[in-house]
């Protein structure tokens, strides 16, 4: 999307919402729509129903690399790359509206129209990508491959649009959304720099240690040094991915709360402009920590790559 297109969308938004000549009303309305999508994304991160779908392409034996010819692939040996690939893929499922979690309501028209709503989601997944890059498991290869494999999937059905494939949302988009003086692109980095405790939470020593685990050898792989799966390693991987998702949700909720407080203090929005009251889902996170298992679901894959 170009800035000209975004400008036209926002102009249409102002007209349809009856906000011409009301800049504070415009910012209040737009923030409510952004906040609503942030809430949906946080809820999407909690849902485990499609976790198998997020991992299918990330399990490929070898991947393309950024800046390299696509006909050349490289064997993945670090589990951190796979973990980040899965988490980024999960975010891209949200982008495309491929979420079935409770409270996500992916087919609504929040944002005034579908194009603007999709742009808000594109901004959110870029914000999430930046958080991943700040974590102990940071992997630019993992995030790249998530975007790459999503683009290769194409449109999976006539009733579903893949915004990465269509080019409506591309990695490292140069167009960014602002509400008043607030820019989503800059807010996360500046907020993380101010909140050292959160950076430490995303970079806990146990995170880094487990993210550097070697990719487990699986039965039937021609590269396998053993014919048995290391169950202990697999459990560590599952734990680190779940813990990292929980940390991400906490960070996103805190960012949302602080940004709203700053906007209220600056007079950009009023105190009652929140789309919903703040909630604390620590009980839900405790339930996840106690072993709430995901269930299988249909998933999409564009094919496996094998290193020869």
Domain segments of the chain as ranges: 3-274
Q: Residue 151: pLDDT band by 50, 70, 90 thresholds?
A: very high
**pLDDT value for 92:** 95
Task: Check pLDDT > 60 for residue 10.
Answer: yes
**pLDDT value for 256:** 74
Q: What's the DSSP call for residue 157?
A: B
| C-alpha span between 34 and 127 (Å, rounded) | 13
Most confident of 121-135, 183-197, 215-229: 121-135
- Which residue do the tokens 């579903």 mark? 160
Task: Check pLDDT > 90 for residue 165.
Answer: yes
Q: Residue 211: pLDDT band by 50, 70, 90 thresholds?
A: confident
| C-alpha span between 285 and 249 (Å, rounded) | 10
Q: Residue 16: pLDDT band by 50, 70, 90 thresholds?
A: confident
Task: Kindly report the pTM of this predicted structure.
Answer: 0.74
Q: Residue 208: pLDDT band by 50, 70, 90 thresholds?
A: low
Angle 216-219-225 from CA coordinates, rounded to 5°: 60
| C-alpha span between 270 and 277 (Å, rounded) | 14
Task: Check pLDDT > 70 for residue 285.
Answer: no
Task: Check pLDDT > 90 for residue 199.
Answer: no
Task: Check pLDDT > 90 for residue 71.
Answer: yes
Would you say how long the chain is, in residues? 308
Residues 85-89, mean pLDDT to the nearest whole number: 92
Q: Residue 160: pLDDT band by 50, 70, 90 thresholds?
A: confident
Q: Residue 34: enclosing H or E segment and its boundaries?
A: helix 23-46
Task: Check pLDDT > 80 for residue 117.
Answer: yes
| C-alpha span between 105 and 98 (Å, rounded) | 10
């Amino acid at each position: 999307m170009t800035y000209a297109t975004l400008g036209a969308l926002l102009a249409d938004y102002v007209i349809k919402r009856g906000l011409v000549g009301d800049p504070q009303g415009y910012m209040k309305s737009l923030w409510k729509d952004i906040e609503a999508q942030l809430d949906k994304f946080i809820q999407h991160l909690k849902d485990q129903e499609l976790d198998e779908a997020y991992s299918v392409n990330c399990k490929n034996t070898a991947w393309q690399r950024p800046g390299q010819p696509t006909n050349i692939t490289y064997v993945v040996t670090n589990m951190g790359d796979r973990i980040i690939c899965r988490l980024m893929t999960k975010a891209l499922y949200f982008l495309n509206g491929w979420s079935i979690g409770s409270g996500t309501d992916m087919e609504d028209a929040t944002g005034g129209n579908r194009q603007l709503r999709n742009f808000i989601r594109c901004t959110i997944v870029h914000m999430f990508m930046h958080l991943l890059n700040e974590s102990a498991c940071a992997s630019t290869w993992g995030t790249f491959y998530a975007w790459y494999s999503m683009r290769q999937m194409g449109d999976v059905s006539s009733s579903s649009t893949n915004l990465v494939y269509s080019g409506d949302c591309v990695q490292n988009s140069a167009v960014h959304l602002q509400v008043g003086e607030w820019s989503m692109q800059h807010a996360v980095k500046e907020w993380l720099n101010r909140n050292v405790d959160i950076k430490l939470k995303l970079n806990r020593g146990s995170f880094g240690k487990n993210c550097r685990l070697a990719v487990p050898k699986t039965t039937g792989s021609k590269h396998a040094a053993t014919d048995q799966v290391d169950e202990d390693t697999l459990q560590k991987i599952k734990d680190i991915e779940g813990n990292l998702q929980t940390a991400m949700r906490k960070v996103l909720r805190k960012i949302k709360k602080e940004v709203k407080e700053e906007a209220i203090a600056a007079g950009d929005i009023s105190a009652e402009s929140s789309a919903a009251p703040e909630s604390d889902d620590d009980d839900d996170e405790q339930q996840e920590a106690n072993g709430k298992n995901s269930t299988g679901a249909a998933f999409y894959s564009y094919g496996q790559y094998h290193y020869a």
